[in-house]
Amino acid sequence: MLRRSKFETSQTQIMHRAEDLINAASNRYRITVQVANRAKRRRYEDFENNEDSLIKPVLRAIMEMSDELTQPEIIGEL
């Protein structure tokens, strides 16, 4: 039986989201490092909480960061 993730996104949607992130960033290297750091942090959080994530941390980080880009109300005011 196939397990489905709560994120129903196709590979093309993820590629478009990643492209949007890179286009919105002033520095491609910096946004790549930010995505990698978020993915690494989420991986360790999932490991500490004994959660078996159905989606890879890098893909989740790309989706979260692109959502923050397109929906600024998610971030909240500092």
pLDDT, tens digit only, all 78 positions of the chain:
445 555 556 889 999 999 999 999 899 999 999 999 999 998 888 777 777 777 888 999 999 999 888 876 655 544
Asked if residue 18 belongs to a domain, the reply is no
Write down the pLDDT at residue 38: 94
Q: Of 47, 13, 18, nearest to 35 (Cα)?
A: 18
Range(s) of the domain holding residue 58: 29-71
Is 58 within the bounds of a domain? yes
- Tell me how far the alpha carbon of residue 57 is from its chain's centroid: 7
CA–CA separation, 56 vs 27, rounded Å? 24
Domain annotation covers residue 19: no
Quote the distance between the C-alpha of residue 55 and its chain's center. Answer: 10
Residue 48 domain flag:
yes
Q: Give the phi and the psi of residue 53 in degrees, each rounded to 5.
A: -75, 140
Counting the structural domains of the chain, the total is 1
Residue 77 lies in a domain: no
Closest CA to 58 of 7, 4, 2: 7
| CA 13/CA 32 separation, integer angstroms | 18
